[in-house]
Structure 1
Amino acid sequence: MVEVPDVPAPRRSLLHCLAFLVYLWTVTPVRRLLGYEPIVPESSIRTEIGVRFIRYSIENSLEGARAFEAATSKLVSMSVPDKLTPVEDDGIRGVWIGDEYESGHDGSNEPVIVYFHGGGYSTCSALTYVTGLSGIRKALKKIHNINMRIFSLEYSLAPESKYPTQLNEAIAAIEYVAKEYPNRPIILMGDSAGGNLVLAVLQTLKKNKAKELKNRVSAAILISPWVDIVIPPTSHEANHAYDFTSIHTLKRMTQWFLPDGADVKDPLLSPVFADLSGFCPMFIHYGGRESFASDIERFIEAAKKARPALSLDVFVEPKAPHITPMMPPFFPDMAERGHVAIAHFVAKLISS
């Protein structure tokens, strides 16, 4: 394992980040017109701007990153057509995305999604990636005429709340949704750290033999899941020029999230080491140019070896960085392809 040095994070305000975005939109097209090579290799102008801007925004102090995320979440929430319903119920906090099902608590076989956001367990919120969630709902409705409601969990963040707080809250959220919709199957979905949390939940339900709740979870959708918490990710050296993830930020997030004495090879923390036998069907989306690519591929190989065999669908966006389906404003074409692939997976589940 390569030792990652501690590097102090700069404090970048919302104004700093927006000024850098204006700079990128001004300078990047001019550089291309003058014949300069892309700073993000082999990328479109929009992809280069997205990667460089997101990288700049997350290479930030915790306070700066959270302030920036809070402001942008408010803006993007106003841009989506979906109904957003905040929830605070018996300790469960989150947001319902989409209208109430017309049929209410009926016997429909159309699932409901429980979503866990990414952000290294220390930043982001239930609404950070609402444009991505809205895009998935749109693809489901437009292509398959499926009205899919999504519950996005507002889990506690590190360093104020360390592991296993988030795992406990995630299981409580599934219990809440199961009570709200007692006859509908549940699909778990998460990106990055949220994908890590999905896999920790599946292991916990299996280990604790929580048969009733485990049987309610019909599938898992993992978008660029964080499957090995060891820093740096295996593909960082090869892909860092293409991706916006920062190993220094990841290292800080890992230190904030893990309790003292935690074993980074614990399967609940690094699910690449998990026993995946008996898991529900899974869909995995990742980018061929992201820092997590090799780790995700190791996880996929482990999943293929699970016995009894599990149902596994994989969609690779070859030139994509991290979590492109969740960021349509920056990666519209790649995001849309991801939304369509996810919608096809859900439709296949419903028809089977």
Structure 2
Amino acid sequence: MPSVSSYFIKKGIKVGAKKMKLEEKDFGKSRQIIDSFARKVSRLPKDCKVEPVKIEGIYAEWISNNQSVKGKVILYLHGGGYGYCSADTHRSLAASIVKEAGVKVLLPEYRLAPEHPFPAAIEDTITIYRWLLTQGYESANIIFAGDSAGGGLSVASTLVLRDQYEPLPAALVCLSPWVDLTSSGESYRKNSEKDPYLRNDLVRKTAQHYAGDESLDNHLISPVFAELCGLPPMFIQVGSIEILLSDAELLTAKARQAGVEVQLKIWKGMWHVWQISDRLPEAKQAVKEIGDFVKKTFRR
């Protein structure tokens, strides 16, 4: 059963989402509002280290602590509908994962739509991944992770690497992944009144901004339409009341049909990317499970 804390946080998210009215502002203003709010509420563990780095013109941050194992890394791709968010919004979540997983996280700021539509985000992800390989990280010691659009980006980038016969990351960790930009799943209707955070109209608008002139069912835009054979193991978390529930379920079904090892956990009463609410008991437990999966993967 969801915690009492989740009830109040969910209510706060619903009120806050209405107050922001991001659709009434231009992208630049909306991004400033989101990033500014994140800087005010985010907190990092005392032993957290943040090291900025530029990788072929892409800003990124190394997140680590004194216990981070050397030679292993999570490449974390932030969510935000491919048009919003940054290291500011996801630094605290990355730090929480560092604490539980015991490895460093590299958190890049890939280019955002609509200024940089598909496939810019994929191109930047692959650039960062190849850079890690040149730095001495073996593919078996790299995990792709991401929430929402970042989860979809993790899958899409791995598909490109597979099709180009390049070494693949050891695993994919997807938090509330956005992998069906056509909004075809049942949860887009079933959970439309339950989801405190996402709205169908905004999701569709954001999807079109990212796709640009491409079709929304392009398999690199919506990986649920891809052939997923040969992908590494996946670990997926999703909330039962979010409109993206079907995305995670469809991705899981397609991956299993292709022979990919998948662990899916549907969290009762949770919303989109609840893991980022670090004061929430369910968030702490979810991040701990991510850490356990990472440790198990790197021990293989």
2:146 aligns with one of 190, 196, 202? 190
Point out the more displaced range, 224-233 or 161-170: 224-233
Which consecutive segments of 4 or more residues in structure 1 shift more than 4 A?
A: 76-80, 99-104
1:67 aligns with one of 32, 35, 39? 32
Name the structure 2 match of 1:350: 298
Name the structure 2 match of 1:246: 199
Q: Distance in 2 between matches of 1:119 and 1:175?
A: 24
Name the structure 1 match of 2:126: 171
Name the structure 1 match of 2:77: 116
Residue type of the alignment partner of 1:297: E
Q: Distance in 1 between matches of 2:6 and 2:193?
A: 11
Instruction: Looking at secondary structure, tell me which structure has more strand per residue.
Output: 2
Describe the superposition over 1:245-271 as per-residue Cα deviations: whole angstroms up to 9, x where unpaired: 0222222212221222x1221111111
* Shift in alpha-carbon separation, 1:227–1:89, aligned structure 2, 3 A: closer
2:266 aligns with one of 312, 316, 325? 316
SS at match of 1:220: strand
Q: TM-score if structure 2 supplies the norm length?
A: 0.89
Point out the more displaced range, 339-348 or 282-291: 339-348
1:340 aligns with one of 278, 282, 288? 288
Name the structure 2 match of 1:52: 15
Q: Distance in 2 between matches of 1:276 and 1:349?
A: 20
Offset, 1:96: 0.8
| Structural mapping, 1:181-330, within 5 Å | 181-183=136-138, 185-210=141-166, 213-214=167-168, 217-231=169-183, 234-243=186-195, 244-260=197-213, 262-306=214-258, 309-329=259-279
Describe the superposition over 1:223-277 as per-residue Cα deviations: whole angstroms up to 9, x where unpaired: 01111001475312221232210222222212221222x1221111111111111
On the 8 A contact 2:73/2:104 being kept in 1, the answer is yes
Q: Distance in 2 between matches of 1:251 and 1:335?
A: 27
Calculate the aligned-residue CA RMSD, in Å: 2.3
* Shift in alpha-carbon separation, 1:233–1:298, aligned structure 2, 3 A: closer
* Shift in alpha-carbon separation, 1:303–1:232, aligned structure 2, 3 A: closer
1:130 to 2:129 alignment: no
Percent pairwise identity? 27
Describe the superposition over 1:297-341 as per-residue Cα deviations: whole angstroms up to 9, x where unpaired: 1221111111xx222112221110101112324xx1121121011
Name the structure 2 match of 1:151: 106
* Shift in alpha-carbon separation, 1:227–1:250, aligned structure 2, 3 A: same
On the 8 A contact 1:55/1:246 being kept in 2, the answer is no
| Structural mapping, 1:1-80, within 5 Å | 44-54=7-17, 56-57=19-20, 59-60=22-23, 61=25, 62-76=27-41, 79-80=44-45
SS at match of 1:321: coil
In our comparison, the structure showing a higher alpha carbon Rg is: 1
Point out the more displaced range, 266-275 or 232-241: 232-241
On the 8 A contact 1:131/1:327 being kept in 2, the answer is no
On the 8 A contact 2:114/2:212 being kept in 1, the answer is no
Offset, 1:189: 0.4
SS at match of 2:201: helix
Describe the superposition over 1:109-135 as per-residue Cα deviations: whole angstroms up to 9, x where unpaired: xx3000111111111012312222222
Point out the more displaced range, 69-78 or 79-88: 69-78
In structure 1, stretches of 5+ residues that fail to align are: 1-41, 141-145
Aligned residues: 291
Offset, 1:156: 0.8
* Shift in alpha-carbon separation, 1:223–1:67, aligned structure 2, 3 A: same
Q: Distance in 2 between matches of 1:224 and 1:326?
A: 11
Q: Distance in 2 between matches of 1:103 and 1:49?
A: 37
